[in-house]
Amino acid sequence: MKNKLFAVDVGATGTKAAIVDVKKGKLLTERVKYPTPEKSGPEDIARLIKQLMLDLDYQGTSMGIGFPSIIQHGVCKSAVNVSERFIGLNLEEYFTAETGCQTFCVNDADAAGLAELQFGAVKKAKGTVLLLTLGTGIGSALFRDGVLVPNTEFGSLHYKDGITEHYAANSARKRKEQSWEVWGNELNDVLQYFERIVSPDLIILGGGVSKKLENYQAYLHTDAKLIPAQHLNEAGVIGAGLYARQKMKKL
């Protein structure tokens, strides 16, 4: 089935995979998840991906990976929440060689954005749209009239004494044991900071904490309309599959 692809969403704390129907934007299997090994290097992630392929009995020849890094032409250019040993590595060549499966890699937040663009909240949106994934870090995907501006990495923007994700990622809320009100107000400040930079018409919140938007939405006061991602925490996996399919069509 040409529209059936194995897709992986590599996160700093958890790595998820499923087989995706890239024509309909739906998971064909359960989403299997494992903890991402702490300070994991390329060989650790390769081992984890091969285990996920076995778990899902994937027999195909291509796959997509969403990865928490700036990725240019398949090469990892940053390492905020992964080992610095990834920097300079051609992820597509490496994982293709390790798994025997032709691999296409995209920034993880851009993958989530692609899923929302084709099948979710961004599909009919006009103007500037900013999608944020709130997890271990803050991933970002920026669209202008439906066109993706890749590798924006808003979570790494300088903020106070660090970067924005150190204050407004879901991991910051857990680490500091903050109430929804305290964290919601901090997130609001960060969202307003982003608004001063790109003036979005729409902000979409993704990641696992997007399922709990009702707990902190009252503390968010943005000029832009703000909504949860339609695919919630599945968007990264779906988008990785979509990206692979798009790249395969160009070969």
Compute the average pLDDT of residues 43-50: 96
Q: With respect to CATH, is domain 125-228 assigned 1.10.357.140? A: no
Fold of 4-111+234-249: Nucleotidyltransferase; domain 5 (3.30.420)
169, 80 Cβ separation under 8 angstroms: no
Summarize pLDDT for 143-202 with one digit per residue, the tens.
999 899 999 999 999 999 999 999 999 999 999 999 999 999 999 999 999 999 999 999
- pLDDT at position 94: 98
CA 74, chain centre distance (Å): 16
What is the CB neighbour count within 10 angstroms for residue 111? 31
Confidence of residue 1 (pLDDT cuts 50, 70, 90): low
pLDDT at 155: 95
87-97 residue pLDDT tens: 999 999 999 99
CA Rg value for the chain: 17
Percent with pLDDT over 90 in the chain: 80
**Tokens encoding 230:** 């339609």
Whether 4-111+234-249 and 125-228 share one fold: the answer is yes
Per-domain boundaries in the chain? 4-111+234-249, 125-228
Q: Which among 10, 87, 99, 26 is positioned nearest to 62, based on CA atoms?
A: 99
Backbone angles phi, psi at 123, to 5 degrees: -55, -45
Predicted confidence at residue 80, as pLDDT, reads 77
Pull the structure tokens for residue 22: 């890239």
| Model pTM above 0.75 | yes
Convert the pLDDT of each residue in 151-166 to its tens digit: 999 999 999 999 999 9
